Amino acid sequence: MRFQDKIVLATGVATGLGRITAELFAREGAKLVVVDYNEAALGALVESLREKGTAVAAVVGDVSLPEVAEQAVARAEAKFGRLDILLNNAGINPVGNIVDTPVDVWDRTIAVNLRSAFLFSSKSIPLMERGGGGTIVTTASIASFKASTAEAAYSVSKAGLLQLTKVIAKDFAARGIRANAVCPGFLPTYMADRKQGASEEQQAMRRKRAAELVPMGREGTYEEIADIIAFLASEQSSYMNGAAITADGAQTV
**Distance (Å, whole) CA 159 – CA 154:** 9
Nearest-5° Cα angle at 125, 108 to 57: 75
Q: What whole-number distance in Å separates Cα of residue 197 and Cα of residue 113?
A: 20
Alpha helices by DSSP H, 81-115: 103-110
Is residue 158 within 8 A of residue 92, CB to CB? The reply is no
Answer yes or no: are the C-beta atoms of 205 and 176 closer than 8 Å: no
d(CA 148, CA 13): 24
Please give the DSSP secondary-structure letter assigned to residue 66.
H
CA-CA distance, 18 to 12, in Å (whole number)? 6
| Whole-angstrom distance, CA of residue 206 vs CA of residue 183 | 19
Annotated catalytic, 154? yes
Torsion of CA 193, 51, 27, 29, to 10 degrees: 120
The catalytic residue among 37, 154, 190, 239 is: 154
Q: Kindly list the catalytic residues.
A: 154
